Amino acid sequence: MTNFLSLADVTSIDALIQSGLAAKANPFADQVLGKNKTIGLIFFNSSLRTRLSTQKAAQNLGMNVMTMNVGQDSWGLEMEEGVLMNGDKAEHVREAAAVMGRYCDIIGIRAFAELKDRDKDYREQVMHQFATYAGVPIVNLESATRHPLQSLADCITIEEAKRTDRPKVVLTWLPHFKPLPQAVANSFCEWMNARAQAGKIEFVVTHPAGYELAPEFVGNAHVTHNQSEAFAGADFIYGKNWSSYTHYGQVLTQDPSWAVTMDDMNLTNNGKFMHCLPVRRNLKVSDAVLDSPQSLVIEQAANREWSAQAVLKEILKNG
Ligand code: SN0
């Protein structure tokens, strides 16, 4: 593996899951692999789990870690080519990425969707510019359209908690007053569709009308606007809010009936509840669900360390 930008960079999800579980059982087995190597973690947006778990994973592998918040710690970065730089951005990504690539062996980048211009967001300009100019492997720490480290942690969590060979996994939209990116939902669909295709799970997506995700991410998933129908017999409920893709970046409804409560969970096959966090309690999910033994959210977040470690190990092995 060179870059880890999306599922397209992965040869085998199963091998990455097993590598993550091996790291969980024996975190320091590969300390030599990262010795005297440096990872730079670059954040254009807020982070709790991604920042700490990726840092921890790198340290487990013996790496040195540098983190930076763009625009706060550093200069604002211009991403467009050929522009007159007379605005608020003092440095171009051409220089910034090239320089960071000289200090780092791997660079991780978080850059959310701006949710204004769909084509611009879905072009993944920030990831592509860094991949073009850094000259070192790039790891996606949540981009405009994807969050693959989260999806790998989700695969690991499902693998650990499943009680049947082919569990029913449901992605459900949750209400929120703010427009949030589609990245987590997109990536979850991308990875779960691959798992479904391999016969490992059954995958269902449920959301209100108007919240259809991009066709390239929905793929062959079964989609329904009836949340109760989706929850029936489910083994895993994966909650997430996202803003509209078709009415790009808009909040079309805040219908509280889409929030997950114990009544909803009682429709499932004693199913587990998952969420990538941060989660707004009682807006998206009730206290009762989050505090019940059915909630996997803390274990899921813990698995972010092992998903990051599996990916960094794969990149370090390559070079
Ligand atoms: C981000 C998102 O992509 O939805 C990060 C998730 C890992 N979530 C938020 O921005 C939540 C913000 C909020 O105010 O609830």
Q: Are residues 167 and 28 in the same domain?
A: no
* One domain, residues 135 and 276: no
Write the CA distances from 201 to 12, 90, 271, integer angstroms: 16, 48, 14
For residue 273, tell me if it sits in a domain: yes
Give the Cα separation of 237 and 274 in Å (integer): 6
Q: Evaluate whether residue 46 is within a structural domain.
A: yes
Which contacts of 123-132 are long-range, i.e. CB under 8 A and separated by 24 or more positions? 124/5, 125/79, 126/44, 126/79, 126/93, 127/5, 129/79, 129/93, 129/94, 129/97, 130/42, 130/93, 130/97, 131/3, 131/5, 132/97
Measured CA distances, 43 to 7, 32, 183, 285, 319 (Å) = 21, 27, 16, 28, 25
Question: Left (φ > 0), alpha (ψ -120 to 50) or beta: where does 111 sit?
Answer: beta
Q: Indicate whether 245 and 221 sit together in one domain.
A: yes
The number of distinct structural domains making up the chain is: 2
Same domain, 139 and 235: no
Whether 140 and 37 map to the same domain: the answer is yes
pLDDT tens track, the chain, 319 positions? 999 999 999 999 999 999 999 999 999 999 999 999 999 999 999 999 999 999 999 999 999 999 999 978 889 999 999 999 999 999 999 999 999 999 999 999 999 999 999 999 999 999 999 999 999 999 999 999 999 999 999 999 999 999 999 999 999 999 999 999 999 999 999 999 999 999 999 999 999 999 999 999 999 999 999 999 999 999 999 999 999 999 999 999 999 999 999 999 999 999 999 999 999 999 999 999 999 999 999 999 999 999 999 999 999 999 8
pLDDT of 7 = 98
Range of the domain at 139: 7-146+304-317
DSSP letters spanning 135-157: -S-EEESS-SS--HHHHHHHHHH
53 and 112 part of one domain: yes
Query: Are both 13 and 85 inside the same structural domain?
Result: yes
> What pLDDT is stored for residue 129 in this prediction?
98
Contact call for residues 59 and 31 (beta carbons, < 8 A)? no
Helix (H, G, I), strand (E, B) or coil at 261: coil
pLDDT at 72: 84
By most ligand atoms within 8 Å of CB, the mutation choice from 48, 180, 281 for ligand 1 is: 180
Beta bridge partners, 67, equal 41
Tell whether 308 and 284 lie within a shared domain: no
**What is residue 237's three-state secondary structure?**
strand
| Residues of each annotated binding site | 47-50, 75, 110, 142, 147-150, 176, 240, 276-277, 280, 304
Is 96:75 a contact under the CB 8 Å cutoff?
yes
Cα–Cα distance, 299 to 147 (Å, whole number): 18
Domain of 18, CATH number, reads 3.40.50.1370
Distance, CA 243 to ligand 1 centroid (Å)? 11
> How remote is the CA of residue 165 from the centroid of ligand 1, in Å?
32
Output the CA 266–ligand 1 centroid distance in Å.
27
- Check pocket membership of 184 for ligand 1, CB cut-off 6 A: yes
Q: Can you give the pLDDT at residue 80?
A: 96
Q: Per the domain annotation, does 164 fall within a domain?
A: yes
181 lines ligand 1 (CB under 6 A): yes
Examine the domain organization and report whether 117 and 199 are in the same domain: no
Q: What are phi and psi of 71, to 5 degrees?
A: 90, -25
**Element of type H or E holding 290:** helix 287-290
* CA 193 from centre of chain: 15
**Same domain membership, residue 285 and residue 195:** yes
- The CA-based angle 243-247-250, given to 5 degrees, is 40
Co-location of 66 and 140 in the same domain: yes
- The pLDDT of residue 102 is 98
Does 176 reside within a domain? Answer: yes
Residues 159 and 266 in one domain: yes
Q: Answer whether residue 1 is part of any domain.
A: no
**Dist. CA 277–CA 142, nearest whole Å:** 13
- 0.85 cut: is pTM over it? yes
Dig out the tokens for 215 from the structure.
């066709």
63 ligand 1 Cβ < 6 A:
no
278 touches ligand 1 (CB under 6 Å): yes
- Alpha-carbon distance 268 to 102, whole Å? 51
